[in-house]
Amino acid sequence: MGFSDYRTVLVTGASSGIGAATIRRLCAEGLEVHALGRDHRRLARLSAETGCRLCALDLNDLAALTRLGGSAEFDVLVNSAGQSRRSNILDTAPDDVDALVDVNLRAVLHLTRLIVPGMAQRNRGHVVNISSIAGHYAFGENATTFNSSAAYHATKSGIHSLSQQLRIDLYGTCIRVTEVSPGRVATSIFQNQNAADNPDARFVGAFETLQSEDIAEAIAFAVGAPARMNVAMIEVVPTFQVIGELRFASRSDTTRLREMTSGADNA
pLDDT at 88: 76
How much is the pTM? 0.85
Helix (H, G, I), strand (E, B) or coil at 181: strand
pLDDT tens digits, one per residue of 49-91: 999 999 999 999 999 999 999 999 999 999 999 888 777 787 7
Detail the DSSP E strand segments found in the chain: 8-12, 32-37, 53-56, 76-79, 126-130, 176-182, 233-236
Compute the mean pLDDT over every residue in the chain, rounded to the nearest whole number: 85
Would residue 221 be called left, alpha or beta, if left means φ above 0 and alpha means ψ between -120 and 50 degrees?
Answer: alpha
Q: Mark whether 152 is an active-site residue.
A: yes
pLDDT at 191: 46
Q: In what order do the strands lie in the sheet with 8-12?
A: 53-56, 32-37, 8-12, 76-79, 126-130, 176-182, 233-236
Q: What angle do CA 193, 196, 202 make, to 5 degrees?
A: 50
CB-based contact 108:129 (threshold 8 Å): yes
User: Which of 167, 86, 201 is closest to 134 using CA atoms?
Assistant: 86
Helix (H, G, I), strand (E, B) or coil at 128: strand
Least confident of 16-30, 52-66, 100-114, 236-250: 236-250
Q: What is the mean pLDDT of residues 156-174?
A: 96
pLDDT tens digits, one per residue of 235-249: 998 887 766 555 666
DSSP code string of 217-245: HHHHHHHTS-TT----EEEE--TTBPTTS
Domains of the chain: 3-266 (3.40.50.720)
pLDDT tens digits, one per residue of 168-222: 999 999 999 999 999 888 876 554 444 445 555 555 556 678 899 999 999 999 9
DSSP code string of 42-54: HHHHHHHHH-PEE
